[in-house]
């Protein structure tokens, strides 16, 4: 078949531009207004893979929108007509997501190519990846799109395209003036462009949040060093033997359920290589309702995600018994076939080992900025490490530093229990969630939990929590309780540690604000919450935070790590702006100013 897509590659002179890429490395970004059957994307990927050496420090990012995306089987049938791209098609289809609205981050060819598929209204989505609703600030502190794949567009979309473009963007070549009037309050934008000369990053905290961020930054060419009080990664909240990717869907289009959905879908792809290597199991997660209201919610959720069986399925009792392998008694439940459980500490260690990222064991008591470098000081006041960029990812430990003490995080104890497997429970094939969770048996025991103990500060195991965890399983499903049978909670093994939670149950991801400057600049919001203050925010130089994931660290970390790394690297972000702001470190301060709480 004649390939008409070569015209769009030649129009943007991609072969010549890619042959001339410099040795410093970076990201080349293509944006496309209509994904269609993906042929333009396949052609661009093919040209990149055959033009840019595998060892090149450059990566290709393609952002492609589709208002009516093809489901995976339909797309596969259409791509058969393009046998010259069969290898690339296979890679794309292996990562292709369920066709739900939102932005889906796909990593192809070991990270050489990142594909952001945007399903939904094209105009809204392209506006959403901009830094601001004000056209003049659309690409503030981020790079421009380098090339556009597009047909004719209307004036509104054309304005957005221009705002995301630079003087050298093809075939646009026009830019919205960056000194255009500001009509919003851009508190989330840093008034100063972060300077990065050495591209050295230290990440404080080697749990799943820190290690996922390290992997995302390493992929972007940063030299990363981990710092943790332990000599081995994943020894605090990420230290449980079995942890699940917990699904939480909703029929509402609010930031929390939208972020949960996006994170869950990315996590199912992110951990697939680990499952394939034998770490944990992609056994699916089965959620049963805790009451009649939630049962009706499940029915509504199933209706909303009808025909998305790869994402979620509504099962009746016969289906529950077949999938779980045990005699469950619930009337219905939601099954998520792409999810499962993992050993989080092992995943943390594997992420660091894969990229040869060093880990320094030290107790850090103080952070200090001096001469363009962040200094990490121990309890004796000695500098353990100096770095240009610092990411604070030590969960509730961020409260101890003067730069991040204002973040409203809570230390919440959780205890897991190791339940002895019975003859019947050995047949459990999938994770079951309700009031608590239970995993399939490994070496004769199930992981179950976890308790929520506010104001309790001990890692010693408590029998009362073991009893509560066992009772949760029985109340989750009577058949499950019978299957588990009686348990000896007095001698039961388990693990206790602390989650880092936030008031709105969402992570904290991004640049750390300068507290005093932010309160001064946006003080008028105390008197008028709707007042437009045309000032960008003040932020600590090259200081970022990545925490507050509660009990969903495994689920959130792949998404929030990509979001954080894209911000540090000055890339177009892989998530809609309203969702980014819902996780922004300054959001609590702005909300409190508007409610006159500060």
Residue 180 has pLDDT above 80, yes or no: no
**What is the mean predicted confidence (pLDDT) over 193-201?**
92
| The pLDDT of residue 283 is above 80 | yes
User: What pLDDT was estimated at residue 2?
Assistant: 41
Question: Does 355 sit behind a cis peptide bond, omega within 30 degrees of 0 on the bond before it?
Answer: no
Assign 117 a pLDDT band (cuts: 50, 70, 90): very high
CATH 3.30.9.10 domain span(s) along the chain? 285-337+416-498
In angstroms, the CA 196 to CA 99 distance is 38
| Contact status, residue 129 vs residue 576, Cβ threshold 8 Å | yes
Pairing of strands 313-316, 383-387: unpaired
- pLDDT band for position 181 (cuts 50, 70, 90): confident
User: Which superfamily does 285-337+416-498 belong to?
Assistant: D-Amino Acid Oxidase, subunit A, domain 2 (3.30.9.10)
Predicted confidence at residue 392, as pLDDT, reads 98
pLDDT at residue 175, rounded to an integer: 63
pLDDT tens digits, one per residue of 223-271: 999 999 999 999 998 888 899 998 889 988 999 999 999 999 999 999 9
Q: Tell me the average pLDDT across 461-477.
A: 94
33 conformational bin, left if phi > 0, alpha if psi -120 to 50, beta if neither? alpha
Q: List the one residue out of 457, 426, 598 whose CA is nearest residue 524.
A: 598
**CATH superfamily placement of domain 6-170:** Vaccinia Virus protein VP39 (3.40.50.150)
CB atoms under 10 Å from CB of 463, counted, come to 12
Mind listing the pLDDT tens digit for each residue in 489-513?
A: 999 999 999 999 999 999 999 999 9
| Averaged pLDDT score across all residues of the chain | 95
Structure tokens at 520: 């001064």
Whether 234 and 227 have beta carbons less than 8 Å apart is answered as no
Lowest mean pLDDT: which of 3-12, 40-49, 512-521?
A: 3-12
- The pLDDT value recorded for residue 237 is 87
pLDDT of 6: 66
What does the alpha-carbon distance between residue 297 and residue 142 come to, in Å, rounded to a whole number? 40
- One of 3.30.390.10, 3.30.230.10, 1.10.3720.10, 3.50.50.60 is the CATH number of 200-237+345-408+503-513+540-586, namely 3.50.50.60
**Spatial CB neighbours of 144, under 8 Å, sequence gap ≥ 6:** 29, 164, 165, 166, 168, 169, 175
Torsion of CA 74, 78, 80, 84, to 10 degrees: -130
pLDDT digits (tens, 9 = 90+) for 326-369: 999 999 999 999 999 999 999 999 999 999 999 999 999 999 99
Which pLDDT score, from 0 to 100, does residue 152 have? 86
DSSP category for residue 170: E
CATH 3.40.50.150 in the chain: give the residue spans.
Answer: 6-170
- The phi and psi torsions of 448 (rounded to 5 degrees) equal -145, 150
Q: How confident is the model at residue 178 (pLDDT cuts 50, 70, 90)?
A: low
Average confidence (pLDDT) over 544-551: 96
Structure tokens at 40: 């333009």
**pLDDT confidence tier of residue 177, bands split at 50, 70 and 90:** low
In the prediction, which pLDDT does 1 show? 38
Residue 356: partners with Cβ closer than 8 Å, 6 or more residues away: none
């Amino acid at each position: 078949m004649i390939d008409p897509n070569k015209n769009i590659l030649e129009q943007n002179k991609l072969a010549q531009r890619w042959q001339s890429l410099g040795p410093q490395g970076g990201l080349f970004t293509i944006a496309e207004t209509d994904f269609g059957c993906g042929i333009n994307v396949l052609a661009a990927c093919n040209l990149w893979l055959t033009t840019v050496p595998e060892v090149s420090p450059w990566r290709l990012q393609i952002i492609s929108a589709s208002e009516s995306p093809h489901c995976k089987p339909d797309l596969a049938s259409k791509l058969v007509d393009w046998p010259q791209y069969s290898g690339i098609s296979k890679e794309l289809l292996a990562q292709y997501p369920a066709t739900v609205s939102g932005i889906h981050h796909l990593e192809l060819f070991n990270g050489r190519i990142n594909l952001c598929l945007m399903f939904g209204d094209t105009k809204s989505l392209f506006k959403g990846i901009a830094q601001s609703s004000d056209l003049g600030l659309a690409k503030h502190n981020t790079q421009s799109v380098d090339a556009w794949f597009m047909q004719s567009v209307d004036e509104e979309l054309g304005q957005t395209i221009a705002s995301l473009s630079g003087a050298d963007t093809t075939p646009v070549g026009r830019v919205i003036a960056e000194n255009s009037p500001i009509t919003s309050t851009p508190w989330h934008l840093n008034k100063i462009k972060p300077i990065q000369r050495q591209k050295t990053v230290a990440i404080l905290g080697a749990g799943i949040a820190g290690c996922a961020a390290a992997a995302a930054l390493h992929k972007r060419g940063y030299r990363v060093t981990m710092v943790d009080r332990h000599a081995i990664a994943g020894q605090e909240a990420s230290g449980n033997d079995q942890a699940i990717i917990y699904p939480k869907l909703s029929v509402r289009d609010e930031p929390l359920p939208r972020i949960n959905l996006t994170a869950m879908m990315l996590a199912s792809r992110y951990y697939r290589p680990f499952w394939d290597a034998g770490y944990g199991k992609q056994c699916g997660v089965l959620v049963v309702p805790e009451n009649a209201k939630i049962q009706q919610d499940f029915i509504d959720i199933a209706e909303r995600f009808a025909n998305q069986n790869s994402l979620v399925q509504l099962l009746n009792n016969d289906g529950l018994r077949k999938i779980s392998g045990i005699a469950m008694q619930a009337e219905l439940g939601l099954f998520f076939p792409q999810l499962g459980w993992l050993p989080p500490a092992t995943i943390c260690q594997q992420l660091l080992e894969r990229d040869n990222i060093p880990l320094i064991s030290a107790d850090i008591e103080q952070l200090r900025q001096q001469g363009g470098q962040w200094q990490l000081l121990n309890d004796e006041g000695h500098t353990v490490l100096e770095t240009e960029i610092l990411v604070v990812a030590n969960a509730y430990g961020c409260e101890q530093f003067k730069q991040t003490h204002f973040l409203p995080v809570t230390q919440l104890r959780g205890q897991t229990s190791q339940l002895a497997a019975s003859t019947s429970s050995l047949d459990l094939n999938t994770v079951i969630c309700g009031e608590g969770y239970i995993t399939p048996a490994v070496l004769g025991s199930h992981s179950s939990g976890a308790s929520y103990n506010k104001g309790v500060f001990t890692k010693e195991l408590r029998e009362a929590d073991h009893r509560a965890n066992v009772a949760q399983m029985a109340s989750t499903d009577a058949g499950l309780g019978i299957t588990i049978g009686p348990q000896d909670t007095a001698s039961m093994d388990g693990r206790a540690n602390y989650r880092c939670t936030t008031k709105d149950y969402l992570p904290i991801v991004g640049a750390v604000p300068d507290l005093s400057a932010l309160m001064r600049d946006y003080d008028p919001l105390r008197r008028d919450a709707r007042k437009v203050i045309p000032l960008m925010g003040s932020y600590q130089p090259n200081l970022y935070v990545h925490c507050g994931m509660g009990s969903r660290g495994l689920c959130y970390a792949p998404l929030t790590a990509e979001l954080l790394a894209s911000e540090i690297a000055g890339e177009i972000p892989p998530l809609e702006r309203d969702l980014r702001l819902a996780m922004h470190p300054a959001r609590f301060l702005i909300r409190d100013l508007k409610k006159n709480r500060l």
